[in-house]
Chains A and B, each alone.
Chain A
């Protein structure tokens, strides 16, 4: 069984993101980039499936400009077998990403496709669900546990208020939540080995997909700022302030 995992290059989540002065977006020049953290969890899960013998090949796919190959290399260094790079300079919104991934999946025929539940740049949280829709496949979002069976899987999902377990027919699309696993670090020998693993390049035109954005970004501004309040010395003073000044208890 083949597992395909989608990985996105985003601003490193530990970097303080700055809005550009002309309100056209956020500053990305000379900013440290990284793999979207939820996609790392996806790569880890796919590799564990191969290590457990339920999967025999892990393919990592990324969409974007030439630099996303660095992100694919990271997935290869973690243990993915090969990469696919859909090369485009276009701004890719979730629907376009889902259409491009669908075209790749029709060529690759995986049984399980894993994506992060959201990317920490646009925080849209749509691509996995959209991909499942376009393929007509089962979807298991916000997964914290995946148990693969014969032609189906039991997936535990993180929902508001607790957990839910569903049975999904294969092929399926899964999106990862935090507790699914703890991704490994790539070892130096594996980073070296990853350099020799193949990355196949293709374009949206090769895949017959028009990736033009549907949403126009009008502007990006800084959020309203909160200001630091006061430090109180005692718990009695705090309770008094909450009761009589803020009137919230």
Chain B
């Protein structure tokens, strides 16, 4: 039996999280199908068919899938589940919303946020904000799994030539409807796919001061993140949040500014390749995980860093 991967997309663009999820699927087995549920999503299906290692793309193109409402997409997955041993989705806000609903309808205990595949029924996943790594074995007939995207490399976007098959809609459950989105419009890369991230903590003291980080982000092509403390203080929106209860990131370079490094924040970024910490408190826990640290007042260090980047570029 094959493995079904739920594609993450917004009808305009196939999100990279799909590629990492395909890699997780390939660690489990062969015959990987991708489900594209959307509205006017033909181009997404074409893109999914080119992913290396995908043998078939299922497309459900209907208005009720236009906004990835969990009730509708979960019903679609349930109707397709018979042919699959595993159903995977990225552990993003969309995957997290949809897959547990499908799992309960199928009477299956989902495995969330896996970071490694041990065997077809056994997976590793972080618990307690990453303070422990649990190995869990599922006794269910079918495995529904969400995948931590930073733990798996993206599959190649080219190289596949999967067949595309239309599937019928499971209909509109009529429970919820989409009203509007307020999506942050930014030219900067998304946090979860950025190669470089610069994050601020409570030490930033205000939302206005994040402009200093944005300037550096624009020089480096980086995304801007924040600690929960900075979000709680109202400096930046919640979708900036990196950590146990926000986004999990693993960029090549993570620059932590005025951020102490609470365990819940470290849970979201400690798999970054290189970590830089800028903090005036030399005892701050962030220095315990940082490859390079500068002890100093961020209001001196950050402008100096900006000037230095100009100088050395």
Task: Give the residues in chain A near B94, CB-CB below 8 Å.
Answer: 159-160
Most buried by A among B97, B111, B295: B97
Most buried by A among B69, B100, B301: B100
Q: Does A197 contact B (CB under 8 A)?
A: no
Contacts A166-B176, A167-B177 known; A17 to B131 CB distance under 8 Å? yes
Determine if B93 and A159 form an interchain contact, defined as CB atoms under 8 angstroms apart.
Answer: yes
Task: Give the residues in chain A near B111, CB-CB below 8 Å.
Answer: 215
Determine if A228 and B289 form an interchain contact, defined as CB atoms under 8 angstroms apart.
Answer: yes
Task: Give the residues in chain B near A138, CB-CB below 8 Å.
Answer: 71, 175-176
Determine if B232 and A160 form an interchain contact, defined as CB atoms under 8 angstroms apart.
Answer: no
Determine if B263 and A16 form an interchain contact, defined as CB atoms under 8 angstroms apart.
Answer: yes
| Chain A min CB distance to B288 (Å) | 5
Q: Does A110 contact B (CB under 8 A)?
A: no
Task: Give the residues in chain B near A121, CB-CB below 8 Å.
Answer: 127-128
Q: Is the interface of A mostly helix, strand, loop or mixed?
A: mixed
Determine if B109 and A26 form an interchain contact, defined as CB atoms under 8 angstroms apart.
Answer: no
Task: Give the residues in chain A near B97, CB-CB below 8 Å.
Answer: 129, 139, 141-142
User: How far, in whole Å, are A218 and B116 apart by their CA atoms in the complex?
Assistant: 14
Task: Give the residues in chain A near B69, CB-CB below 8 Å.
Answer: 166
Which range contains the number of B residues in contact with the other chain?
35 or more
Determine if B238 and A158 form an interchain contact, defined as CB atoms under 8 angstroms apart.
Answer: yes
Determine if B103 and A95 form an interchain contact, defined as CB atoms under 8 angstroms apart.
Answer: yes
User: How far, in whole Å, are A216 and B231 apart by their CA atoms in the complex?
Assistant: 36
Determine if B135 and A226 form an interchain contact, defined as CB atoms under 8 angstroms apart.
Answer: no
Contacts A179-B238, A215-B111, A238-B292 known; A220 to B179 CB distance under 8 Å? no
Which stretch of A45-53, A60-68, A72-80, A229-237 is in the interface?
A229-237
Q: Does B270 contact A (CB under 8 A)?
A: yes
A207-230 vs B, Cβ < 8 Å mask (1 yes, 0 no): 000000111111111110010111
Contacts A217-B136, A228-B290, A248-B196 known; A235 to B100 CB distance under 8 Å? no
Contacts A98-B104, A177-B238 known; A228 to B287 CB distance under 8 Å? yes
User: How far, in whole Å, are A166 and B177 apart by their CA atoms in the complex?
Assistant: 6
Determine if A215 and B100 form an interchain contact, defined as CB atoms under 8 angstroms apart.
Answer: no
Which stretch of A1-9, A198-206, A239-247 is in the interface?
A239-247
Task: Give the residues in chain A near B289, CB-CB below 8 Å.
Answer: 226, 228
**Residue in A closest to B234 when the chains form the complex, CB atoms:** A179
Q: Does B161 contact A (CB under 8 A)?
A: no
Contacts A141-B97, A179-B238, A242-B292 known; A215 to B109 CB distance under 8 Å? yes
User: How far, in whole Å, are A77 and B98 apart by their CA atoms in the complex?
Assistant: 34
Q: Does B239 contact A (CB under 8 A)?
A: yes
Task: Give the residues in chain A near B136, CB-CB below 8 Å.
Answer: 215-218
Determine if A123 and B112 form an interchain contact, defined as CB atoms under 8 angstroms apart.
Answer: yes
**Residue in B closest to A219 when the chains form the complex, CB atoms:** B135
Q: Does A191 contact B (CB under 8 A)?
A: no
Determine if B71 and A142 form an interchain contact, defined as CB atoms under 8 angstroms apart.
Answer: no
Task: Give the residues in chain A near B182, CB-CB below 8 Å.
Answer: 162-165
Task: Give the residues in chain B near A117, CB-CB below 8 Å.
Answer: 245
Task: Give the residues in chain A near B176, CB-CB below 8 Å.
Answer: 138-140, 166-169
Determine if B70 and A141 form an interchain contact, defined as CB atoms under 8 angstroms apart.
Answer: yes
| Chain A min CB distance to B308 (Å) | 5
Q: Does B169 contact A (CB under 8 A)?
A: no
Determine if A126 and B110 form an interchain contact, defined as CB atoms under 8 angstroms apart.
Answer: yes
**Residue in B closest to A125 when the chains form the complex, CB atoms:** B96
User: How far, in whole Å, are A124 and B99 apart by their CA atoms in the complex?
Assistant: 12
Residue contacts A-B, CB under 8 angstroms, 6 given: A125-B100, A165-B180, A169-B176, A218-B134, A219-B134, A238-B292
4 closest cross-chain pairs (CB), A and B: A130-B104, A214-B109, A229-B291, A129-B100
Known contacts A163-B182, A238-B294, then 8 further A-B pairs from the complex at CB < 8 Å, ordered by chain A residue: A13-B129, A94-B109, A129-B98, A132-B101, A162-B181, A214-B140, A223-B130, A236-B308
